[in-house]
Chains A and B, each alone.
Chain A
């Protein structure tokens, strides 16, 4: 399974990657991006190489390109339309999270999160993609 984690915090990217491993995901590769623009580049590269992604986790607020703009750009270019996107936020009531779901994000995880919360969300997306 190939996962892309987009977050301007390296600490959060590593923590999320570790949580996914602990959740039992068979990660063959974890790609990291520090903002939405790097995320778009990573998605494009994965498509060009014929090595599709299975899951994208994306922070909401980032410099350069936000999570919302990442979703808009991904949609505009029709990149990885079938790959589930989960937003990462510190504030589940943030209107940006609601907008993200409206733009195709399949869910969100609120920091702090538990292993069980991530496990449940990811399992539901990968076993029963929307």
Chain B
């Protein structure tokens, strides 16, 4: 039990670093940990699977307003936040998930192991499996520019 707690703490620290790195490098924005107890509405989710020597799952979940804000950060000011179409918003959320999963995979898989990343799959609502089933599950809320989202990681 203590070992599992320690592993969770390790991965929480790693994920905080990955999320901050992605936002700083790609979007020149800070993104920090938000209240984990807060209920975040979920309107759009993206999932990337890691398969091979290690099996894992990265799911990120966004309320609509946060997803629109993320899309604006990715695409610049060419469109208003209300003006993005669904495909653009899904693309932005999927790419963020891809980069977070890629960073996690780099830390999770040894150099000599074989691990593949799936392409991001997108869902509207709650139906992507983000339950903590598996040997380890981590769920963290993050915030950028007053917009919140959730990252769920699981080693299966």
**Interface, chain A (partner B; CB < 8 A):** 9-12, 14-15, 18, 61, 90-93, 110-114
Contact = CB atoms under 8 A, between A and B. Distances in A.
Contacts, number: 50
Contacts of A12: 95
B74 A14 contact: yes
B91 interface: yes
Contact of B95 (A9, A18, A93, A114): A9
A113 B25 contact: yes
Question: B interface, how many residues as a size bin?
Answer: 20 to 34
Interface stretch (B4-12, B32-40, B97-105, B142-150): B97-105
B105 to A, nearest CB: 6
B119 to A, nearest CB: 7
Interface of B: 21-22, 25-26, 71, 74-76, 87-88, 91-92, 94-95, 98-99, 101-103, 105-106, 109, 111, 117, 119
A111 B98 contact: yes
A91 B26 contact: no
Given A112-B21, A113-B25, 8 more contacts: A10-B88, A14-B74, A15-B74, A90-B98, A90-B99, A111-B95, A111-B98, A112-B25
